[in-house]
Amino acid sequence: MSVRVVHTAGLGEGGLREVRDLLDGAFEGDFSDLDFEHALGGMHALAYEGERIVAHGSVVMRRVVHRGRSLRTGYVEAVAVRPDRRRRGLGAGIVAALERVIAGAYPLGALSASEQGAALYAGRGWSVWGGEIGTLGPGGPERLAGEEGSTYVWVPPGGVRLDPAGRLDFDWRDGDVL
């Protein structure tokens, strides 16, 4: 397995189509156009077998307000492995590559984990955020209680100190905020 890290701009039309096809298959058709849009504009980690992409993840810049401070945050999106290639370490390889991007560019990493993906992140040192989760929505701050318990954070070496009792307010976006 080889892992390549590339910006969205370097994927080209064919690469974007291949990533979208992988995501549609891995999420069994439950991956919307907005979900795909959320995964674009940052860095992508791609695992290859030969010329074929078999795993993907991306990290995009988000703003998170914590205790009155706006933090540049590397937000992990669209981590997926082809169904016939799961349980072979590909997901861990993708997340390791994304962690290197986060460590080099952001004081904080964050993501929203599915039940199936939670063990992968926890096993790599990501922690469930114990405080409240919210968003800075069009009408002002609002709590996202449904995201509490599935939002994970990772602070790279030299990253920001977080108050575990504090709230994390993520920037607003269309579709699923997290």
All domains in the chain, ordered by first residue? 2-171 (3.40.630.30)
* DSSP β-bridge partners for residue 140: 137
Calculate ∠ Cα 157-160-163, nearest 5°. Answer: 125
d(CA 124, CA 122): 5
DSSP string over 131-147: S-EEEEETTEEEE-GGG
d(CA 157, CA 53): 30
- pLDDT value for 79: 98
- Which candidate, 11, 15, 13, 33, places its Cα nearest to that of 24? 33
The DSSP output letter for 172 is: P
69's tokens: 């401070």
Within 10 angstroms of residue 116's Cβ, the number of other Cβ atoms is: 9
Residue 68 phi/psi, 5-degree rounding, is: 80, 5
- pLDDT value for 29: 85
d(CA 84, CA 68): 45
- pLDDT value for 12: 96
- pLDDT value for 70: 97
pLDDT, averaged per 10 consecutive residues of the chain (178 residues), comes to 93 97 94 96 96 96 97 98 92 97 98 93 97 95 95 96 96 94
Residue 48 phi/psi, 5-degree rounding, is: -120, 145
- pLDDT value for 116: 87
